[in-house]
Amino acid sequence: MKVVTGVVGNDIHVVANRLIDISLQARGFEVFNLGVNTSLEEFIDAVVETDADILLISSLNGEAEGWCRDLQFLRSEYDLREDVVFVIGGNLAVGEAKQDDIIPKYRSYGFDLVFHQVDLNTGLDALEQYVKERA
């Protein structure tokens, strides 16, 4: 399966991005890594260009929300495949925030899976499970 990944917004936290890349490859995914400082438009462009099955956005500086609100809008603009899985993970809020507040919020923006401060492998296990169940 093809995955497009990267860090959204003005966020240069490259270490986790690189680890996600290696981990996805280790799990057999074909990875297109856009790296740090990536805008939502660039992500969607890449999904179209690579015909990806999954878009996995990460964020560490907590500013993801402002960058990801328009996902539903862009999704309709771009005429994407219906079955693309949208995933976001990392540290999804500035300061302390409850899982119960964050997950519904990001789901309403159009993300199928939301991982706030979840261990990398736990998150990727959940992603694989989700993809398997949907198939």
Q: In the window 98-127, what residues touch other proteins (CB under 8 A)?
A: 120-121
Using CB under 8 A, count the residues that bind other proteins: 17
Active site residue 13: yes
Nearer to other proteins, 15 or 135 (CB): 15
Q: Least separation, in Å, of the C-beta of 13 and other proteins?
A: 9
Q: Which of 49, 56, 51 is nearest to 25 (CA)?
A: 56
CB of 37 to other proteins, least distance (A): 5
Contact flag: residue 35 with other proteins (CB under 8 A):
yes
